[in-house]
Structure 1
Amino acid sequence: MDKSALSFEKPNKIGKYEVYDELGRGNCGVVYGGFDPFVRRDVAIKVARHDPNDDAEATIVKQRDFFSEAHAAGRLQHPNIVALFDAGTEGDLAYIVMEFIEGDTLLDYCKPNGKRLTPRKVVEIMFKCAKALAYSHSQGVLHRDIKPGNIMLTVTGDARIMDFSIAEVTQSLAYRPDQIIGSPAYMSPEQVRKETMGAVSDLYSLGAVMFQLLTGEAPFRSKEVKEVFRQILNDKPKRVDELNPEVPSQLADIIQRCLSKAPSNRYQTGHELAAALTRCYDQLRNTEAQMNRREHENALKSLAFFDGFNDDEIEEMLNASQILSFNADQNVINEGDIDDTFYILAKGDAGVYKGKKRIDKLVKGDCFGEIGFLTATKRTATVTALTDVLVLKVNASLMEEASPECQLRYYKAFTQTLIYRLSITSARLSAHG
């Protein structure tokens, strides 16, 4: 079919969204930059290509296939998966609205003579992707098309998996396709054979991406797709450390296991692969704690409380604090407790309770425990996690060991927070007076 039949002029507006320049296009549609005037944020808008020659039934089928991405990605909320905000139709156009990511895909780092990422950076990116896939699989979603073009690297160096357009939502994580779907160079043997696929199929594809990031070439290559499939089914891939001497043998072993022909010989879950990558990262003179610390630093930088803090001051704050995680329904602090700590909610939602009555809700970036921090008096309320939360617990005694510059910046932000909280309390009292 003539591709021009599937093209259309860029709309200036779709629904409430303003439409800007084209960002890219593929078989399923065209992606534009856009803007949500109500939330006031940049977005990416994927619009399905429309064939004016299609009858009503064909249009419905294509829209159903197009919205399978919304069905899959809409179930997922993870820091390393591109978020989906909205989906709908307007006239003949079907569209999906996603998080706008400032950055590029991994394709630029996979070219034979292109720039290479260091093994340490590859491990860091793949660790995040493995964790994202572990979460996706826990929600019953198989991606089925993991490849360099579907992994974004943000300008801050973070990784995001995107494009769930051929994903499969299944409770059992066992799916048998009736046709070959995916990108040939990254397909697992069972995907080529149209056999039952599971989490290990996505992890095979991630191993193929790792291989290419470190060598500039896919594990199996040919101009003929049939030959690529033959190699995937029968040939053993070369070891990455033989092609790139900068790659440690431990990392090459991880990739070899990912690319095993038999699914049972591969890592069985994203968590298992992430653990292996963490151990490899440690071999590269970094520990899992350092990886988590970097993520914690990034989490703090995203909070309004730390606006103006430089990297050294963020590091000092982490030294004077603890990063704590709580599951939903766990208490962060208890009414009547005595301590001298101040809390900043870095992730998730929490509720403030007096007795059994909830009197307030806290969201990411909110602070609590100011009075206890200043006076070490009894807590007057209980704070309970409503979702899984990450909390920065700042210790007053440890803050005294921070540099004068860090203390000054911290207490300025702390005072602003305290004034804001007192003004809110005063307004509520006035409203009830």
Structure 2
Amino acid sequence: MPASISTAEAVAVAVDDRVKEYQGDAAARQAAEPRKTGGKSDSSAPRLKPLDIKAPDRIGRYTIGKRIGSGTCGVVHLAEDELLRRTVAIKLSPVGETNISTGKVPGAQRAYQTEIVAAGQLAHPNIVTVFDAGQYEDLNYLVMEVVEGSSLKEFGKGRELLPVHRALEVIVDCCTALDYSHRRGILHRDIKPANIMLGKDGSVKILDFGIAVGLRDIGGLNRHGPTLGTPNYMSPEQILGHELGAASDFYSLGTVLFEMLTGRQLFKARKVKELFRTVVQQPAPRLDEVNPSMEKGLADVLAKALAKKPKDRFQSGREMAQAIEPWIENYRLVEERPNAQLRFIRQLQKQAFFEGFSDVEVARLLEIVTVRSFSAGEVLVAAGDAERRLFIITDGMARRERDGQLVEVVGEGAAVGAEAFVNGAPEPESTQAMTTVNALELTSDALSNLPPRIHLRYFRHISSLLARQSAGAASLQPDCAL
């Protein structure tokens, strides 16, 4: 690169070249997924008309039924396999002849050939199964399993979102499928919501390997290909035309997860050139900044998937799945709770002790505490008590005394017993209920059963409360005092 050209200028030139390649190769763009006739196309992508193929009534043993999708590479119909007596999906595309002078293969034909190669290599419960393929007159056909359900397009941008734990489960299944595909030497290259099916039975299926490339030499599958994909979900290196590795698919999968958790696409632009430059040059927005209800730890996982440099991302589906899996149970714990319990969590978050703690963190603590009730005059913590337990007052008033003298009156959101809880040392003060007091009893042993990150966060919080108390927390507001 000449010294007079900056890195930014070089990137701009590379992006411009890729845009020309992307927009100019209309035939190659036929690898887009089938979509319902009349559907709105993405304003940032070139608008290509779906092929209008008249399907025959019958192809071999398959009786052709109604059309269920159409796209720029062909149409998809339901069909009946009369030999095996089952309903299948049959994808039809025009046979394309190789250009003798240029050697180029029309996009729809290339997609068909690529899917056949992929089908011969892949057999996985999270990848749509291809049963049969062939040519009938001037049509290529691909026979696949029918997935009764809908694609993730129904749960993303501008639509009702899946519960967080369910969205994470779907992505983990995709990680498993891609890990398998990559180990078989095949890079999908077009991971997006429309290519991920969620069955009514809960199954998750990745489909459409029409623009896949090889991660190693596989007969019939190129290791390199033209700049293809769906702009909103392409990785920076895919846009720039660089050699691709597994991390490219995980970037695309990260964009899908971002959309499922926020209801918006990662980047938006009116034109392909603008979008490509943004993807290549701008850092991805953080999940917890776009959707503040999301956990920072989960946002960190997604940030890794969306890193600009492939080496900074997850290198395998197994690695990405393992990073996501702990969050599934965390969010399930919240989302599957009865409404009354969710309201209690929201109530606690308004109290001083739980201020700044997420739904998941509060729900996790509620799993390990004991709910206690004290009548007026009962002692919560006695002076000299060294038992490692903490009482978090959720309702009522209590008085803290030292040597028979009132130190302060505390109420909801206060925590008492921090000295013994943190240090195992005798409590210097006693705490007695003035009214009926409801409190959450937390023991040190129970806290240690929480996931390490949440355990550490609570322990630091309690230690901080103790430090403020030792420094003279009597000056704090009653609802913030220990």
Return the offset for 1:169: 2.9
State TM-score, norm by structure 1: 0.61
Residue of structure 2 aligned with 1:125, choices 170, 174, 180: 170
| Residue equivalent to 1:83 | 129
Answer whether contact 2:127 2:206 (CA < 8 A) is retained.
Answer: yes
Tell me what 2:241 maps to. 194
The 2-side partners of 1:4 and 1:115 are apart by: 28
Q: Assess if the C-alpha contact under 8 Å between 1:175 and 1:198 holds in 2.
A: no
1:184 is aligned to 2:231: yes
C-alpha separation in 1, matches of 2:120 and 2:59: 19
Distance 2:156 2:217 in 1: 33
Q: Give how far 1:176 is off.
A: 6.2
Q: Structure 1 pair 59/9, CA: closer, same or farther in 2 (3 Å)? A: farther
Shift, 1:261, TM fit:
0.2
| Residue 248 (1) aligns with residue 283 (2) | no
Partners of 1:40 and 1:64 lie apart in 2 by 31
Q: Provide the alpha-carbon RMSD of the alignment.
A: 2.7
Tell me if structure 1 keeps the 8 A contact 2:53–2:74: no
Q: Distance in 1 between matches of 2:200 and 2:235?
A: 31
1:269 equivalent to 2:335? Answer no
Q: Which moved more, 1:1-10 or 1:134-143?
A: 1-10
In structure 2, the gaps of 5 or more residues are 1-25, 27-46, 334-482
1:374 match = none
Provide the rounded CA distance (Å) in 2 between the counterparts of 1:168 and 1:220. 25
8 Å contact 2:127–2:205 — kept in the other structure?
A: yes
The answer to whether residue 186 in structure 2 is matched with residue 163 in structure 1 is no
Q: Trace 1:15-164 onto structure 2 (pairs within 5 A).
A: 15-49=60-94, 63-112=109-158, 114-164=159-209
The count of residues paired between Structure 1 and Structure 2 equals 283
Per the TM alignment, residue 7 of structure 1 is displaced from its structure 2 partner at its CA by: 2.6
Q: After the TM superposition, which segments of 4 or more aligned residues of structure 1 sit over 6 Å from their partners?
A: 1-5, 54-60, 172-176
Give the one of 199, 203, 206 matched to 2:253.
206
Alpha-carbon distance between aligned partners in 1 of 2:75 and 2:205, rounded to the nearest angstrom:
19
Shift of 1:177: 3.5
Percent of matched pairs sharing the same residue: 41
1:89 aligned partner, one-letter code: Q
Q: Distance in 1 between matches of 2:223 and 2:67?
A: 35
Q: Which runs of 5+ in 1 are unaligned?
A: 287-433
2:93, 2:141 within 8 Å by CA — same for their partners in 1?
Answer: yes
**1:153 aligned counterpart, secondary structure:** strand
Residue 319 of structure 1 corresponds to which residue in structure 2?
Answer: none
SS in 2 for 1:48: strand
CA contact (8 A) 2:94 2:109 kept: no
1:186 & 1:3 partners in 2: Cα distance?
18
Structure 1 residues 265 and 184: alpha-carbon distance in aligned structure 2, compared to 1, 3 A threshold: same
Q: Once the 2 structures are TM-superposed, how far is the Cα of residue 78 of structure 1 from its aligned partner? A: 0.7
Q: Deviations over 1:367-414 (max 9, x none)?
A: xxxxxxxxxxxxxxxxxxxxxxxxxxxxxxxxxxxxxxxxxxxxxxxx
Which amino acid in 2 is paired with 1:109?
F
CA distance in 2, matches of 1:140, 1:22: 33
